């Protein structure tokens, strides 16, 4: 008779930067013989299934299935553009997503597959920190343990937890005419690191009543009701801050970089990423890899501002001129929805077009992990999203940071001043600056950055090897979830009856 296996329900926030690491965790837990129900919003669910080969995916991960709940937005909503995420923050708190998630959990509890079948009653919910209120409210009602997964860095999450203190001190909100280089000294561990400009982007709203600011405050505090916290980082990078987070959570599992841990635990990772899905919600243009093959070692700067950041045509032109004037080869990801207000620059100067043909390659989306690991790439101009930052750290590629949203401001400051892995150019966008920092990085003029990049990449590799901190922490997570199955609370018949209400 088969031994019953845990069944984890995973609920990510509906954005690529959140879905990607949580899907990696789902694959790792599935590889450990867990049953996984991965819950996307309906729009993401339908789009995701169109992008993957479902037969191949099901063969590779027969214990991993996808289900969906509504996102709370009306059907006619375009679900794109600068207003989309703001609308999503509000809609995710509405009644419909919570009710549908409760109905979904009840169907998993009371469905025909429970009572000894393979897909047993959920053992736990692993919830994205940005949906913590929804997930924890429902799971607590149904007596299901909740583990929170925060897809930002430990450093960024620590700053988020200190936002109420910053409000009490009168330090936020602030406007652009304030002293942006004024030090923020009241966050323990970061007393001499952060300036106003390094705080999360939502700290720049005019009022503390702004719904986006309040969303982050409330979701961050709600997370502390979870039984444990998962972070996509590694101890060698952020241990001082991780230790401070232990005052809010009884257990913390640092299991990053997740893309590297997945490769370490599942040896045919490249086959899996090509034939199933790596969590990307966009089609990848792989022709750029052949272009990279033709470039000298460590000569190329790679540019990608992520899946959500949008820029103005003027900003695009400043970056473009800076790149071509640097006279370094560049590979630039320009999404079809990257520009604010226009689909593309109407009249691109002929000199830019000509000089880009000489040394540049532009694609709509790209296989980033493979690009950063390519021998030709010598620098990464990034928005400092946490997935991109970790992937660059793992590859040992130094960064030029141009953050725009949420946690990116904190990440970029840590990259440049704490970990010495790159150059932070936040709140700056001019061609001369771009030209200079690209030249400095590719020509190796920042020796401290090069050394730190090599050293910390080595630490990241050690963390995911057998016996490494992230490798062992994943095993602890697996063992602890298994223990939920035999816990007195989980086995309580009274609780089981309560779930059926």
Q: Point out the residues that are catalytic.
A: 18, 128
What phi, psi does 148 have (nearest 5°)?
-90, 140
For 217, 246, 256, 291, the CA distances from 464, given in Å and listed in that order, are 32, 22, 8, 31
CA end-to-end distance (rounded Å), the chain: 31
Which tokens is 256 given? 């990053």
Contact present, 269 and 262 (Cβ < 8 Å): yes
Nearest to 142 by CA among 9, 231, 5: 9
Residue appearing with tokens 């979870």: 226
For the four alpha carbons of 274, 276, 277 and 282, in that order, the dihedral sign comes to positive
The DSSP code sequence of 469-492 is HHHHHHHHHHHHHHHHHHSHHHH-
Contact present, 18 and 11 (Cβ < 8 Å): no
Which residues are CB-contacts of 136 (< 8 A; sequence separation ≥ 6)? Answer: 127, 146, 222, 223, 225, 226
The DSSP code sequence of 352-380 is HHHHHHHHEEEESS--HHHHHTSTTEEEE
CA separation for the pair 400, 434 (Å, rounded): 9
């Amino acid at each position: 008779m088969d031994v019953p296996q845990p069944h984890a329900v995973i609920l990510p926030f509906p954005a690529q930067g959140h879905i990607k690491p949580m899907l990696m965790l789902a694959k790792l837990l599935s590889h450990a013989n867990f049953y996984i129900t991965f819950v996307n919003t309906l729009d993401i669910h339908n789009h995701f299934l169109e992008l993957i080969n479902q037969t191949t995916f099901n063969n590779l991960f027969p214990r991993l299935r996808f289900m969906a709940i509504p996102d709370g937005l009306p059907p006619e909503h375009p679900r794109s553009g600068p207003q989309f995420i703001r609308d999503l923050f509000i809609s995710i708190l509405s009644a419909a997503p919570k009710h549908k998630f409760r109905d979904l959990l009840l169907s998993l509890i009371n469905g025909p597959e429970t009572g000894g079948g393979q897909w047993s009653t959920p053992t736990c919910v692993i919830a994205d920190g940005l949906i913590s209120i929804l997930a924890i409210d429902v799971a607590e009602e149904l007596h299901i343990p909740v583990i929170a997964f925060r897809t930002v860095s430990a450093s960024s999450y620590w700053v988020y937890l200190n936002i109420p203190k910053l409000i009490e001190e009168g330090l936020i909100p602030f406007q652009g005419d304030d002293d942006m280089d004024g030090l923020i000294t009241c966050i323990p561990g970061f007393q001499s690191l952060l300036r106003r400009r390094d705080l999360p982007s939502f700290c720049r709203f005019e009022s503390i009543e702004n719904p986006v600011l309040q969303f982050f405050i409330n979701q961050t505090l709600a997370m502390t009701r979870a039984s444990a916290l998962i972070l996509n980082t590694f101890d060698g990078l952020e241990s001082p801050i991780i230790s401070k987070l232990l005052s809010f959570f009884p257990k913390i599992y640092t299991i990053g970089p997740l893309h590297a841990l997945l490769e370490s635990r599942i040896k045919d990772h490249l086959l899996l990423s090509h034939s199933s899905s790596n969590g990307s919600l966009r089609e990848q243009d792989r022709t750029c890899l052949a272009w990279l093959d033709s470039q000298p070692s460590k000569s190329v700067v790679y540019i990608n501002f992520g899946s959500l950041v949008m820029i103005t045509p003027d900003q695009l032109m400043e970056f473009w001129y800076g790149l071509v004037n640097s006279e370094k080869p560049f590979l630039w990801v320009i999404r079809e929805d990257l520009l604010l207000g226009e689909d593309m620059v109407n009249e691109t100067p002929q000199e830019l077009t000509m000089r880009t043909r000489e040394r540049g390659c532009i694609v709509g989306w790209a296989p980033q992990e493979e690009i950063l690991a390519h021998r030709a790439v010598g620098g990464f101009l990034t928005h400092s999203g946490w997935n991109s930052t970790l992937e660059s750290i793992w590859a040992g590629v130094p960064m030029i940071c141009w953050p725009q949203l949420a946690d990116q401001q904190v990440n970029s400051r840590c990259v440049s001043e704490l970990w010495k892995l790159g150059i932070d150019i936040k709140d700056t966008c001019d061609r001369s600056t771009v030209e200079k920092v690209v030249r400095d990085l590719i020509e190796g003029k920042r020796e401290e950055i090069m050394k730190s990049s090599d050293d910390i990449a080595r630490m990241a590799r050690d963390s995911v090897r057998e016996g490494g901190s992230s490798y062992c922490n994943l095993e602890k997570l697996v063992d602890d979830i298994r223990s939920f199955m035999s816990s007195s609370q989980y086995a309580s018949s009274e609780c089981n009856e309560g779930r059926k209400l």
